[in-house]
Homo-oligomer: A and B are copies of this chain.
Amino acid sequence: MTTERTADLLAKTLRDAIIRFSRRVRQARPVGDLTFSQLSALTSLQLAGALTPRELADMERVQPPTMTKIVGKLEERGLVARTPHPTDGRQVILAATDEGRAVYALHERARNEWLAVELDRLTPEERETLARAAEIMQRVARG
């Protein structure tokens, strides 16, 4: 029972911490920059090399129509290219363009700047705690 109670309290604490933290990071976004979601999708794409919309949606934990929108924005800006699947006409292959990779690196850097500065102020132990927490959250999110 103690564990249950702890988990319950932790769930609340964690949610509150995350919502405030996200909003704070969001505020640090320069005008005209890539949004949170766009940057995350672009990152996944680059890491994976190439993905179908469905795969990307699963990876990003959103529904396919949502991913269509996000990819649409990225494509408009020439950062991502859609190419037809070689054998399956229904599917599409998404990949970052050269410009996508370049813009990504730039914006990623700018996006992280505020956060990195803040994190740099922490003690090494605190950073270690956050790194471990990030790993755990990824695992839980993965389900």
Contacts and interface: CB of A to CB of B under 8 A. Distances in A.
Interface string A98-116: 0000000000100110011
- Quick one: copies of this chain in the complex? 2
A40 B16 contact: yes
Given A16-B138, A138-B21, A141-B21, A129 B133 contact: yes
Interface centre among A13, A37, A141, A142 (most CB of B within 10 A): A141
A21 B23 contact: no
A134 to B, nearest CB: 4
A130 interface: yes
Contacts of A137: 17-18, 20-21, 130
Interface string A110-125: 0110011111101010
Given A130-B133, A134-B13, A7 B120 contact: yes
Interface in A17-53: 17-25, 27, 36-37, 40, 43
Contact of A141 (B24, B60, B112): B24
A90 interface: no
A24 to B, nearest CB: 4
A13 to B, nearest CB: 5
Given A7-B116, A130-B133, A130-B136, 11 more contacts: A3-B124, A7-B117, A8-B112, A14-B130, A15-B111, A16-B40, A18-B21, A21-B140, A23-B60, A133-B133, A133-B134
